[in-house]
Structure 1
Amino acid sequence: MTAEQPLAVLWDMDGTLIDSEPYWMAAETPLVESFGGTWDHEQALQLVGLGLPDAARVLQGAGVGMEVDAIVAHLTDAVLRQMGELGVPFRPGAQELLRSLRAAGVRTALVTMSLHRMAASIVELLDFDAFDLVLGGDDVPRPKPHPDPYLRAAELLGVDIAHTVAIEDSPNGLRSAVASGAVSLGVPHFVGLDGVGADTLWPTLEGRTVDDIAALYRAHRP
């Protein structure tokens, strides 16, 4: 690693590193229906990028008669079961970019609004040393779009947030990254990111390497 590279790259998980949003949606629908409600794709999109407690409250509004913590635990377990059965569905280019960063000695952190236990379980399924730090939504007092998750990750890594790059796919996640002071990279998936404030938007991570991240960092670092 050189001064021309960021000190760390901070990754969102759901929708950025892995294509888990369909798994969450597949868990939400039968849960709502079990309480006599209905749940469609447009409703599911409202939860993209939300902290799990906030998502649980939306599901309560759709008729789910469970406490917030119980909903969060139910959805987390359902998604983990799918991951165990179907494997980790990386987003295009994400695994290759992550491996490129690790090979170059750039530190990496997973900064997600999923529960810490879920994120740690998914990292354990990977066949390489992918992250120096895993930070879940239950590890910080305020979720994205607040800057707390990214600021806490930088603090735990012992780096200045201004010398990191954060990669996000959702508006709330990107707002968190921007507010933290990280160099922010948006890679839209289910919802658009125009006008959210990213330093750069890439349509995909496919074909990207540590050199592209370094160039992004040099263009936007303080």
Structure 2
Amino acid sequence: MSATLIFDCDGVLADTERDGHRVAFNATFEHFGVPLHWSEADYATKLQIAGGKERMASELTPEFVAANNLPTDRDEQAAMIAAWHQDKTARYTRLVADGALPPRPGITRIITAAQDAGWPLAVASTSAEASVRAILTQAVGQRRAEAFDAILAGDVVPAKKPAPDIYLLALERLGADPSRTLVIEDSRNGLLAATGAGLRCVLTVNGYTRTEPNDEAVLVVTSLGDPGGEPALVLANRGAARPDTVIGLTDLLSCLE
């Protein structure tokens, strides 16, 4: 028996937010001479906004625009944000290439096992596609990354998480049965997007998301775990899985029962 697995990227494939995206955003602000620097606490708030361009745009209050002589025209602002985001993405992918953002425990193991078992796999993320492909390649290598059945990223749908659109699109692209599809997410926004699409969801939480409400998740763990490495600690279990310290394919299948 098999299942379709759909992974979020940031916080799931790798712990990318604090020491990856945040660092790249701040470097971009400095490069463009914009007086912004997001602390870890600032960024925790920004994570409630889905999408990098949208996070940047949230700073463009009338007061901030006037104080920094930024364009007031909406089209000009959109072009400016696009340029900032392109620069940020390039900086982020360099961080990934330099090995600064290793895969989270269990990710390489689970993807390898699922592909070897013939399970359909996809990524559904609000991050730029270049960022997603960089993280995925870092985690499993180019051959396995290219073997994914779908990579949906960035602006592929107009309404981003917590809207369910990206997961509905993933189901359509994959031709997947929702009852045999499991999402692996790390945040409440992602959880709501997955369950809004009628899908069951496993949460692998991190420092930014551990205290978020997770009542809709079938299983909540600190990570997928690795033998001889970081163990998976079960925080909530509302399904048939009975995992130990390592989450395996059998555990994921049990989440669909």
TM-score by structure 1 length? 0.86
Deviation per CA, 1:21-48, whole angstroms, max 9, x where unpaired? 1211111223345322342111111233
Segment of structure 1 superposing worse, 103-112 or 187-196: 187-196
Distance 1:107-1:91 versus aligned 2 partners, 3 A rule: same
Aligned to 1:213: 252
Aligned to 1:68: 81
Aligned to 1:16: 12
Q: How does 1:150-169 map to 2 (within 5 A)?
A: 150-169=167-186
Larger radius of gyration: 2
Aligned to 1:41: 40
Q: How does 1:192-207 map to 2 (within 5 A)?
A: 192=210, 193-195=212-214, 197-206=216-225, 207=246
Of the two structures, which has the highest relative contact order with CA contacts closer than 8 Å and spacing of 6 or more?
Answer: 1
Aligned to 2:52: 52
Segment of structure 1 superposing worse, 108-117 or 80-89: 80-89
> Given the alignment of the two structures, is residue 183 of structure 1 paired with residue 200 of structure 2, yes or no?
yes
Distance 1:137-1:111 versus aligned 2 partners, 3 A rule: same
Secondary structure of 1:201's counterpart equals strand
Distance of 1:92 and 1:103 partners within structure 2: 19
Distance of 1:60 and 1:79 partners within structure 2: 22
Tell me the C-alpha RMSD between the 2 structures.
2.2
Distance of 1:162 and 1:60 partners within structure 2: 42
Segment of structure 1 superposing worse, 27-36 or 156-165: 27-36
Secondary structure of 1:86's counterpart equals coil
Deviation per CA, 1:39-78, whole angstroms, max 9, x where unpaired? 2111111233622232121344577856221222122111
Q: Which amino acid aligns with 1:46?
A: T
Deviation per CA, 1:153-197, whole angstroms, max 9, x where unpaired? 111011123321001011111111111111111111122233452
Work out whether residues 10 and 165 of structure 1, in 8 Å CA contact, stay in contact via their aligned partners in 2: yes
Distance of 2:84 and 2:254 partners within structure 1: 42
Segment of structure 1 superposing worse, 35-44 or 46-55: 46-55
Segment of structure 1 superposing worse, 193-202 or 174-183: 193-202
Distance 1:165-1:101 versus aligned 2 partners, 3 A rule: same
Aligned to 2:110: 97
> Given the alignment of the two structures, is residue 110 of structure 1 paired with residue 112 of structure 2, yes or no?
no
Q: Which ranges of structure 1 fall in alignment gaps of 5 or more residues?
A: none
Work out whether residues 185 and 191 of structure 2, in 8 Å CA contact, stay in contact via their aligned partners in 1: yes
Q: Which amino acid aligns with 2:41?
A: E
Segment of structure 1 superposing worse, 42-51 or 137-146: 42-51
Segment of structure 1 superposing worse, 16-25 or 44-53: 44-53
Q: Which ranges of structure 2 fall in alignment gaps of 5 or more residues?
A: 71-76, 226-245
Work out whether residues 105 and 224 of structure 2, in 8 Å CA contact, stay in contact via their aligned partners in 1: yes
TM-score by structure 2 length? 0.75
Report the identity percentage: 25
Secondary structure of 1:10's counterpart equals strand
Distance of 1:26 and 1:110 partners within structure 2: 23
- Per the TM alignment, residue 137 of structure 1 is displaced from its structure 2 partner at its CA by 2.0
Work out whether residues 18 and 91 of structure 1, in 8 Å CA contact, stay in contact via their aligned partners in 2: yes
